[in-house]
Amino acid sequence: MAVRNKWNKRWLDTIGTVENQVKGSMSHPEIAFFNLNTILAATNSFSPANKLGQGGFGVVYKGKLSNGKEVAVKRLSKDSGKE
């Protein structure tokens, strides 16, 4: 339980940091931000063949960036309540 609480605190700190930054200059040492075109290219436009799984907030897709790095991308569902 302590590990989860530590992770939750770090996640909340990250959210606060990101929300306070100006759009277009967002960065965090553990989170990468990409424009939509990069994500679409990496996931082959969210191809069903790249679906890894689904959670409460949306579907997770595997992707490959132009530099060869593999990534997981969560596409939030419209009903997730997240923006």
Q: Which two tokens stand for residue 72?
A: 């997981």
Alpha-carbon distance of 11 to 8, in angstroms, equals 5
74 is in an annotated binding site: yes
The answer to whether the CB of 63 falls within 8 A of the CB of 47 is: no
**Which of the 8 DSSP states describes residue 31?**
B
Find, among 53, 56, 58, the residue nearest to 78 by Cα. 58
Point out the annotated binding site for ATP.
74
